[in-house]
Structure 1
Amino acid sequence: MNADSKEQRVGFVGLGDIGEPMARRILAAGFPTTLWARREASLVPFEGMGYHRAKDRVELGRASDVVGVCVFGEKDVSEVVLGDDGILAGMAAGGVILVHSTVSTEYVVELARQCEARGVTVLDAAVSGFRQRAAAGELTVMVGGPVDTFQRVRPILETFGAHVEHLGQVGRGLAMKALNQALGLANLASSALALETGRQLGLDQGATERVLLTASGGSFAMELLVGRILKDPQFAQLVASIADKDLAVFEDLCRSAGVLSSDLGGLAARSNDAVAGLVKTP
């Protein structure tokens, strides 16, 4: 692998709501970048940006020193990384795979073991912040894995992350992400319940939203709820599906560690119902 971080060849797969602006940040920073996507439409935002298009996942691995994987869940990660047609099949020894997807710690540890047998290092590099912060390069990035590999790829992570933290061995980044997601979902539930209570109290909806966005009760969750979730039904469905998946990861993590998570997990579990109830209220 090239010692000069700016000469590291970067690959990326998973050009969705958050992955697309992450990849755009990498390209804009000047890293030689290769992209692969199933759908032609996913590559439209990159027109004129000078990226290389891989014809398949094997070529993506072959063309890259470091590959970011930002697909939905464990099944998707396995599909793009493993097997005869996966990224790993084309990647040279010394390569690095960054798992940005929210998967279980057990899964990423096993994935790292399989990739290590081919001389490829896996870092779990979980991200938080949604699309707007990704586009601004302001994501929080939570990383687990060998510290020397982390330092090598840190300049890539800092193209889209304003807060990049190394948490320890592989899986620790995802453990932190799970805790963060549980807190975020708990805040989302509380925010939705506050708006619903304002309606029941007869407070003006617009005024209530403006005050709760700017006063001491405000939060990132309130900004997300008012600014996007309540305005975009398709995005609201995406958040609901992410909430279900991420809460399951959090609960599995707590069970495996023998941690009682009933208070935080219980409040987080109310988020989807609380938001759905707010949307349906006339």
Structure 2
Amino acid sequence: MSAPESTRIGYIGLGNMGAPMAKRLLDRPGGLTVFDTRPEAVAPFTDAGASGAASPAELAQTCTLVSVTVLDDAQVEDVVAGPDGLLSTAQPGTVIAIHSTIADTTAVDLAARCAEHGVELVDAPISGGAPGAKNGTLAVMVGATDEAFAKVLEPFGTWAELIVHAGPVGAGTRMKLARNLLHFISFTAATEAQRLAEAAGLDITELGKVVRHTDAITGGAGAIMWRDNTSPLDPDDGWFPVFSHVRALGEKDLTLALDLGERLGVALPLATRALTDLGPGLGVGSGDTARSRSPRSRSPHGQKEHA
């Protein structure tokens, strides 16, 4: 059963992400209680009709569903299990949702401690940034029991557009870490592309416009993330021709970019790795272009060897 709309929700941590998320809970029938160490962060909520708590412990006295959006593992542990934390007063059946990105082991360990009090902890990290929080279009990846997941669906839906049950406690955080792995490797790749463009005499701000425009159309890296496993594909698999085509285009364009980098004296280590790993990563193996540029076919200085 989902949590009834009459459930009073507590929200702890009213920063750049927490404040807009909590704001979208103000109109829920059950009411909202908030806590933050900064009075100036709490004031807009109490002015709008929410209740303010002096501590997590006080908040847990009246709230059986609590969202936590604080900085790091240490703050999460203090809010949940510290001397004045939620567990000191939480009623059995309370659900504590951690939206902060923490270690998956922290989530699992805290969930075990919560269980000793009859409290369920779910790890529910979010993706979508401050704009997603403001617009109510976040994605949330939930590690929880089926029962706890059912309880958070309705309230999470006030600020999230996509709610994924990733698995048991810890799975939400593991999914968020995989998602952010892609995010920051992509950022690093963007800096490599900027170096190449700058060396070629291009305006990298204009390149940025092109990237943002076309990623909004194609979906960026997410456009290839349709498979349900990462095993090599059978040639009869329907995805095989699709990803073989992606590999062919990618190996061609990566080779052209690497050739440009060599002419301009710009090192492109991520592009070099991508040429090697693209086909196998897609499950279709390396193509002729990647094999021809393998380290065994090149000199120590990166130039092709000629017979």
Match of 1:124 in 2: 123
Match of 1:91 in 2: 90
- 8 Å CA contact 2:2–2:153 kept in 1: the answer is no
Q: Post-superposition shift, 1:31?
A: 4.1
Match of 1:48 in 2: 47
Give distance in 1, aligned partners of 2:72 and 2:199: 38
Match of 2:107 in 1: 108
Give distance in 2, aligned partners of 1:45 and 1:90: 26
Bigger radius of gyration, 1 or 2?
A: 2
Amino acid at match of 1:92: Q
Q: Post-superposition shift, 1:169?
A: 0.9
The range that moved more, 135-144 or 200-209, is 200-209
Amino acid at match of 1:173: G
Match of 1:173 in 2: 172
> Alignment partner of 1:215: what SS?
helix
Match of 2:200 in 1: 201
Please list, as runs of the form range in 1=range in 2, the aligned pairs for 1:1-282 lying within 5 A after superposition: 5-46=4-45, 48-215=47-214
Change (3 A) 1:14 1:204: same
Q: Post-superposition shift, 1:172?
A: 0.6
Q: Post-superposition shift, 1:221?
A: 9.1
> Alignment partner of 1:134: what SS?
helix
- 8 Å CA contact 1:187–1:221 kept in 2: the answer is no
Q: Post-superposition shift, 1:102?
A: 1.1
- 8 Å CA contact 2:3–2:154 kept in 1: the answer is no
**Deviations 1:23-48 (Å, cap 9, x if unpaired)?**
11122444411001111121244353
Give distance in 1, aligned partners of 2:116 and 2:46: 37
Aligned residue-pair number: 224
- 8 Å CA contact 1:191–1:221 kept in 2: the answer is no
**Deviations 1:102-129 (Å, cap 9, x if unpaired)?**
1111111110110111111001111111
- 8 Å CA contact 1:144–1:166 kept in 2: the answer is yes
> Alignment partner of 1:98: what SS?
strand
**Deviations 1:109-161 (Å, cap 9, x if unpaired)?**
11011011111100111111110011111111000111111111111111111
- 8 Å CA contact 1:8–1:31 kept in 2: the answer is yes
Q: Post-superposition shift, 1:198?
A: 2.1
Give distance in 2, aligned partners of 1:76 and 1:197: 41
Give distance in 2, aligned partners of 1:126 and 1:82: 19
Give distance in 1, aligned partners of 2:144 and 2:119: 12
Q: Could you tell me the TM-score, scaled by structure 1's length?
A: 0.73
> Alignment partner of 1:38: what SS?
coil
Give distance in 2, aligned partners of 1:6 and 1:216: 38
Give structure 2 stretches of 5+ with no counterpart. 222-269, 275-307
Q: Post-superposition shift, 1:199?
A: 2.1
**If each structure's helix is expressed as a fraction of its own residues, which one has the higher value?**
1
Amino acid at match of 1:197: L
- 8 Å CA contact 2:142–2:164 kept in 1: the answer is yes
Change (3 A) 1:22 1:201: same
Amino acid at match of 1:214: H
Q: Post-superposition shift, 1:208?
A: 2.1
- 8 Å CA contact 1:184–1:221 kept in 2: the answer is no
Amino acid at match of 1:6: E
Change (3 A) 1:86 1:220: farther
Change (3 A) 1:3 1:182: closer
Amino acid at match of 1:138: T
Give distance in 2, aligned partners of 1:126 and 1:143: 7
Give distance in 1, aligned partners of 2:204 and 2:46: 41
Q: Percent identity?
A: 30
